[in-house]
């Protein structure tokens, strides 16, 4: 019984010694692997920091820069003329001439065309000679006109849900009612804008009939029973409401813009 115990004890001692030797070998291997790696990175970092940067001189660039620096700087200065009393009297004379009632003679071009203008410089039918209250009244009407037409386009959006339920359609077809209106007042200026520039037609003969049709067509648009008919009426209302988009700025220009003598195409019914 004693022999097996001694053999067991000796086997345990041998296994412990082998385990210690194995752990020492593993640690030595790790240190050999890590240390060279650290040394290599340190050397790379040192070489990176200590390596001088070598650049080739740019002779052409340096010569150009030196020429620019050596060249004299030619600075110029602009200034406006002082507002003298002579200039003040000239401006007063010009403004007084505009207020005088002078006859405007027709101008004849080289090809024989006669440019018809206003009769006098203070012609009361000239929109630029209107009193301030009349210009303000026309601008107010033009603003209300534009508000009604543009409001009718986006006013359709809150009712899209009712359109879907009433005509039993989806959201995408219901949105076409807004798009078709915008297409209408996008196409209308192609006709009404050049038409209003014809002296025999003027602005009013474009504004009044089209706005009357716009108001009349709004009634069946609210009472139509088919969705196809709704789209047709939406297009027509946008089409006949478009003159405020195309001609509104022209009307303002007729009153306060460049001199109407340069256009020579206005009449008493143009505004």
Phi and psi angles of residue 156, each rounded to the nearest 5 degrees, phi first:
-70, -25
User: Own/partner pairs for 104-110, CB < 8 Å, 24+ apart?
Assistant: 104/261
> Where residue 47 falls among pLDDT bands split at 50, 70, 90?
very low
Which of 5-9, 10-14, 112-116 has the highest average model confidence (pLDDT)? 112-116
Which residue, 148, 142, 252, 236, is CA-closest to 187?
A: 236
**Is 178 part of any domain?**
yes
Angle between helix 189-196 and helix 204-223 axes, rounded to 10 deg: 150
Could you tell me if residue 28 is inside a domain? Answer: no
| pLDDT for the residue 82 | 66
Is 102 inside any structural domain? no
The residue range of the domain holding 234 is 153-256
For the chain, the domain total comes to 1
Domain membership flag for residue 24: no
Give the model confidence (pLDDT) of 147-172 as tens digits: 999 999 989 999 999 999 999 999 99
pLDDT at 177: 92
Cα 55 to Cα 40, 47, 58, 204, distances in angstroms? 27, 18, 9, 77
pLDDT-wise least confident of 131-135, 148-152, 184-188, 256-260: 256-260
The pLDDT of 211-225, averaged and rounded, is 93
In a 13 Å sphere around the CA of 86, the CA atoms on its Cβ side amount to: 2
**Token pair for residue 215?**
């108001």
pLDDT over threshold 50, residue 226? yes
The reply to whether 124 falls in a domain is: no
pLDDT, average across residues 6-22: 56
Torsions phi, psi for 12 (to 5 deg)? -65, -40
What is residue 1's predicted lDDT score, i.e. its pLDDT? Answer: 43
Over residues 84-98, the pLDDT tens digits come to 777 677 666 656 655
**Residue 243 banded pLDDT, cuts 50, 70, 90:** very high
What percent of the chain lies above the pLDDT cut of 90? 37
Whole-angstrom Cα distance, residue 139 to residue 271?
11
Asked if pLDDT for residue 74 goes beyond 60, the answer is: yes
Residue 234: closest CA among 182, 169, 164, 163: 182
pLDDT surpassing 50 at residue 52: no
Q: What is the pLDDT of residue 186?
A: 93
Between 121 and 45, name the one with better pLDDT: 121
CA distance 234 to 219: 11
Task: Report yes or no on 158 lying in a domain.
Answer: yes
pLDDT of residue 119: 79
pLDDT of residue 194: 92
At 266 the pLDDT is 43
Average model confidence (pLDDT) for the chain?
74
Q: What is the mean pLDDT of residues 135-152?
A: 93
Lowest mean pLDDT: which of 46-60, 159-173, 224-238? 46-60
């Amino acid at each position: 019984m004693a022999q097996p115990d001694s053999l067991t004890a000796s086997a345990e001692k041998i296994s412990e010694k082998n385990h210690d030797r194995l752990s020492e070998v593993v640690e030595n291997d790790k240190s050999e692997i890590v240390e060279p790696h650290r040394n290599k990175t340190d050397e790379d970092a040192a070489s990176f920091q200590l390596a001088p940067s070598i650049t080739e001189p740019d002779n052409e660039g340096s010569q150009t820069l030196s020429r620019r620096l050596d060249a004299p700087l030619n600075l110029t200065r602009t200034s406006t003329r002082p507002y003298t009393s002579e200039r003040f009297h000239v401006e007063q004379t010009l403004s007084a001439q505009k207020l005088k009632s002078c006859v405007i003679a027709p101008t004849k071009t080289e090809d024989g065309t006669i440019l018809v203008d206003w009769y006098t410089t203070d012609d009361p039918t000239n929109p630029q000679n209107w009193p301030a209250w009349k210009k303000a009244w026309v601008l107010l009407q033009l603003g209300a006109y534009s508000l009604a037409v543009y409001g009718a386009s986006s006013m359709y959006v809150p009712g899209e849900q009712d359109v879907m339920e009433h005509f039993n359609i989806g959201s995408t077809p219901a949105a076409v009612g807004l798009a078709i209106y915008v297409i209408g007042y996008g196409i209308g200026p192609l006709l009404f804008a050049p038409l209003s520039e014809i002296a025999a037609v003027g602005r009013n003969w474009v504004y009044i009939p089209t706005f009357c049709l716009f108001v009349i067509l709004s009634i069946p648009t609210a009472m139509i029973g088919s969705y196809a008919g709704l789209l047709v009426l939406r297009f027509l209302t946008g089409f006949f409401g478009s003159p405020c988009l195309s001609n509104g700025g022209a009307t303002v220009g007729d009153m306060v813009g460049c001199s109407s003598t340069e256009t020579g195409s206005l009449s008493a019914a143009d505004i």
